Amino acid sequence: MYYIKKFLLIVIFFLVGCEHTQDLTRLEEQKLPIQTSFKITDFEPATDCKSCHPVHYKEWSGSMHAYALKDPLWFSLQKKEQAHFSAEGKELGQFCIMCHSPVAFLTDAIEEPSSFSISDTSKYAPQIQEGIGCSFCHSTTHFSPTTDAYPAIEETDIIEFYLNTGDVKYGTIRNPISNNFHESEYHPDYDNSEYCRGCHNLTIDGQGAEMTFTEWSGTAFEAMGVECQSCHMATYAGYAVDKDQFPEAPYRENLHNHTFAGIDQALTFFREEESQVTAIQNLLKSAAEMNFASPLPDSLKNGETLELSVLVTNSSGHNLPTGTTFSRQLWVEVTAVAGGDTIYRSGNQNDEDDLYDFHINPDGTEDPDLTLFRTVLYNAEGDSGLRQVAVERFVRKTDTTLPVQGSRIVLYSFSVPDDSQGNLDLTIRLRFRALPPFFVREFGSGIEALPLNIFNIAELTETIPIRSSQ
């Protein structure tokens, strides 16, 4: 039976691969156009799509794509880096803008990126204000390669977008219905991870900076056909258009969710806030597993030392965390309570909700066992960390993220007090938040009071009886 199943799987993969190859071959034969110059009116505002595609519009309007040019923290960091490059007699240009408002980038609408602030956005067309909008994405004709930036020699406006903003809108529906608003055409690339690569695979002066696509490439997830869209644009059944306007519209089984669920969330009041938090939690609940790496004792004596080992395993299709790993916080929290008293803890927070990492506790005295999965960036002067080093000018990094299907054992050791009675209660949680609070306080003026959600990915609990040593 095993060999039959294995053979069937091979056949299925072969057939899927053949279909994919044929789609791409047919696409090459189509010789889809690549536009070389753009004006803002080549792109429609997302609101123009709302009447026909109300569900997709609602999903998108609460996404981080729609928030991309509304984030005050992003504006603050963009301004900071522009000033840093200017002080060195260099230009950062549209490096930060090219992915956060690709229409602005393609049309050179923002003439002075160095002084561009959040208060300026209201004077720009909706196509620019909306960040990554419908018209931009559905005009793509070919994959973008990895974005290789070279700030050291001021080559920063270098992302490659291949679009055709004519009357055709491309997508994943093989048999689109005709309408009076635009032509529709099936495009196989929209179901492939390569579609996301341009903005989600970034090198700086040859160093991997944000490498989500590369992390996924060559893994079992790619081999099984689990693409970025499989998790971040999950399919569901429904109608692609408003049924009242298009009574003949067929019920479809393969619509893509346009919330683009990820691990970032809006820091200011935004549309679909509750749905966004729910989507992040749903995504993270299957992102990792946690288990005891060695058996726990049946009981403990007063004064005895517990050697605790925890195995954390990445279950996602890329490193955990991924993207801007230098600003993520994924950590293990351990709490041990004996007789109602907390006798050990690690991964706890101070009164300002910050972890005791090297930013907050440089000498490591408060939480020497703190385990964080992340990267730390270093610049040419040897400075490190979020306060000093931005991705635009790092030269090396340390990396403690979990690779795809990778595991790490985390060790803890503590003693049971001599006078403890009852039980030792252990609670171990794998926790995540997109940004550290100190970072938001220092660089996100005006958004200090908004909560940064902490998401629990996995949890272990255990109770061990305590025996008197006498």
Look up the CATH number of the domain holding residue 351: 2.60.40.10
**Residue 444, pLDDT above cutoff 90:** no
Contact 139, 106 (CB under 8 A): no
Out of 22-26, 100-104, 176-180, 250-254, pick the least confident. 22-26
Please indicate, yes or no, if residue 45 is contained in any of the structural domains: yes
Rg (CA), the chain: 25
Look at residue 451 in the predicted model and tell me its pLDDT. Answer: 75
Look at residue 13 in the predicted model and tell me its pLDDT. Answer: 37
Is the domain of 139 the same as that of 269?
A: yes
Paired tokens of 470: 């006498």
Mean pLDDT computed over 404-429: 96
Mean pLDDT computed over 437-463: 86
Q: Which long-range contacts (CB under 8 A, 24 or more apart) does 352-355 make?
A: 352/437, 352/438, 352/441, 353/437, 353/452, 354/436, 354/437, 354/438, 355/329, 355/331, 355/436
Strand partners, 335: 345, 427
Is the domain of 153 the same as that of 228?
A: yes
Contact 359, 383 (CB under 8 A): no
Domain of residue 62: give its range: 16-283
Is the domain of 88 the same as that of 114?
A: yes
**Residue 173, pLDDT above cutoff 90:** yes
| Site of tokens 């009447």 | 51
Contact 169, 185 (CB under 8 A): yes
Is the domain of 374 the same as that of 250?
A: no
pTM of the model: 0.90
Neighbours of 2 (CB within 10 A): 6
Look at residue 28 in the predicted model and tell me its pLDDT. Answer: 52
Is the domain of 311 the same as that of 228?
A: no
Paired tokens of 305: 């030392």
Is the domain of 91 the same as that of 234?
A: yes
Q: How many Å apart are CA 232 and CA 367, to the nearest integer?
A: 35
Is the domain of 153 the same as that of 210?
A: yes
Who contacts 162 (Cβ-Cβ below 8 Å, separation ≥6)?
34, 140, 141, 142, 143, 144
Q: Which long-range contacts (CB under 8 A, 24 or more apart) does 136-140 make?
A: 136/43, 136/102, 136/103, 136/163, 138/169, 138/170, 138/171, 139/43, 139/163, 139/164, 139/165, 139/169, 139/170, 140/170, 140/187, 140/189, 140/190, 140/195
> What is the end-to-end Cα distance of the chain in Å, rounded?
59
Chain length of the chain: 470
Q: How many Å apart are CA 40 and CA 106, to the nearest integer?
A: 9
**Domain-ending residue, one of 254, 283, 312:** 283
Look at residue 31 in the predicted model and tell me its pLDDT. Answer: 78
The per-residue pLDDT for range 15-58, each reduced to its tens digit, is: 344 334 434 444 455 579 899 999 999 999 999 999 999 999 99
Is the domain of 229 the same as that of 293?
A: no
Burial 255-281 (b: 16+ CB within 10 A, else e): bbbbbbbbbbbbbeebebeeebeebbe
Strand partners, 329: 433
The per-residue pLDDT for range 314-351, each reduced to its tens digit, is: 999 999 999 999 999 999 999 999 988 999 999 999 99
DSSP-derived secondary structure for 368-386: TT--EE-EEEE-TTS-BST
| Site of tokens 């997508």 | 171
Number of domains in the chain: 2
Mean pLDDT computed over 375-388: 92
Look at residue 51 in the predicted model and tell me its pLDDT. Answer: 94
Out of 9-13, 157-161, 206-210, 331-335, pick the least confident. 9-13
DSSP-derived secondary structure for 83-135: HHHHHTT---TTTTHHHH-HHHHHHT--S-GGG--GGGGGGS-HHHHTSS-HH
**Residue 5, pLDDT above cutoff 60:** no
- CA nearest to 137, candidates 109, 176, 169: 169
